[in-house]
Amino acid sequence: MDVHGLTPDRQLDLGDIPAGPDLFLLVRNALQRTEQGQILELISTVPQIKNDLQSWCRLHRHRFLMALDGGDHYRFLIRSGTAALDKPDWGIRLPLRKGGKLDIRDWFEGRVGELREHASSYVGFVPRGAVAEPGIPDFGFTLNRKDDVWSDNLLDLYEQAKAGQWNATEDIDWEALPQLPEDLEWAVCQIMTFLAENEYSALYIPAKFMARINPHYIEALMYLSTLIQDESRHIEAFTKRALAGGGGLQYSSTLTERSLHSLFIQEDYFKSSFLLHVLGEGTFLDLLTFIEQHSPDPVTRQVVTLAKIDEGRHVAYGIGHVRHILQQHPGMAKALVEAADERNEYLNGADAGDNSHVMEALAILAGGGRDPGRLKAGFIQVGKLKTVMYEHRVQRLLQIGLDRETAEAISKSHTPNFM
């Protein structure tokens, strides 16, 4: 073959690396970076690799052109027979914030910043922005659209979640827990049992969806991981508070379990986010505020105050996510009504009314004791709590874009389990 007119497009110096896995790994990688039809020049001090290179090229659909004797080295020319991989980014430096900080909101540059409305189903765990080889298996992701999981406040919430992490071992002043009257301690223990029970569902439900989310939207997964850590910490703190004062975990009702099960079996992420984050955790926020206001001791107050901050982020994500979808697809509001109706239909077979153990405990807490006069006053406060919950649900439903009539109907039908 005439060497005139042959100009290598890329060059790879192999030194004295002998024929074998290491050498062919380097050649393979170099050819993947070489456009189809272009020439890769290999420089080697080992002439014996020629035959091995020729066989390898035939096997991998590349064309071995020639070997040239350079005196103290050899040059081997190979024409690439396959398409090159896309070129990854290089040379893009992220701008730093004041104080040299770099957060997740700053990485939307270059290929990483190319957030698609619909992600490929065949990306595996390839980070957005990286270059993937062909032939990646189907991981079975089902949430492959940005609308499936995104929220306009997602990045802000993730940064807030990192900054707001607290430790249920060290950040609660457990030594400040006084010896409460038995009735009040029982009420706190019963309420803590109920709170922990609800947080199990708030942990498990997002966790089951995480493996379905396309990694192209890794920010959503990263935020949900903080949410799950929050719920784990809440379960820990609520359980510890039930145990720390000498009481213990108390009663769990069938009504509560059926209500939580109706959330757990929801397989549509949009509906699940609405039921859990907007309705459920939104109402849960009001319950935590009520407990905070009537806490009989500083430790109980501290636990629910810290948990309430976390829950505020969860509700903000749900509102942002559902509102984002309804702004893009107003007709999806029907799905929210369906979700509420489906849940009500499922719960129709459950015992009517409230979780009696929790209602009693809330009345004792709000009234300050179990004697009839205090209970009567406490139940009045619990009734006011239900009114506040209803009104705040309506406000949140208006916030996501529902009309008032629909918002009031959904709020009125919400499960008496609160969550």
Note the pLDDT of residue 121.
82
What's the chain's length in residues? 419
Predicted confidence at residue 369, as pLDDT, reads: 97
φ, ψ of residue 117 to 5 degrees: the values are -70, -30
- pLDDT at 205 (0 to 100): 97
Residue 156: what pLDDT? Answer: 97
Contacts of 399 (CB under 8 A, 6+ apart): 319, 323
Q: What pLDDT is recorded for position 324?
A: 94
In sequence order, the 6+-apart residues with CB closer than 8 A to the CB of 113 are 107, 129
What does the pLDDT read at residue 135?
A: 86
Cβ(313)–Cβ(156) under 8 Å? Answer: no
User: Per-residue confidence of the chain (419 residues) as pLDDT tens digits?
Assistant: 555 668 899 999 999 999 999 999 999 999 999 999 999 999 999 999 999 999 999 999 999 999 999 889 999 999 999 999 899 999 999 999 999 999 999 999 999 999 999 998 888 999 999 998 888 888 999 999 999 999 999 999 999 999 999 999 999 999 999 999 999 999 999 999 999 999 999 999 999 999 999 999 999 999 999 999 999 999 999 999 999 999 999 999 998 999 999 999 999 999 999 999 999 999 999 999 999 999 999 999 999 999 999 999 999 999 999 999 999 999 999 999 999 999 988 887 545 567 899 999 999 999 999 999 999 999 999 999 999 999 999 999 999 999 999 999 999 989 888 88
Q: Which two tokens stand for residue 162?
A: 């990192």
Q: Which residues lie closer than 8 Å to 163 by C-beta, 6 or more apart?
A: none
Q: What is the pLDDT of residue 6?
A: 81
Cα separation, 15 vs 157, whole angstroms: 52
* pLDDT of 186: 98
pTM of the model: 0.90
Range 52-81 burial, b when 16+ CB lie within 10 A, else e? ebeebbeeeebebbebeeeeebbbbbbbbe
Q: Which domains does the chain have, with CATH numbers?
A: 10-79 (3.30.110.40), 146-413 (1.10.620.20)
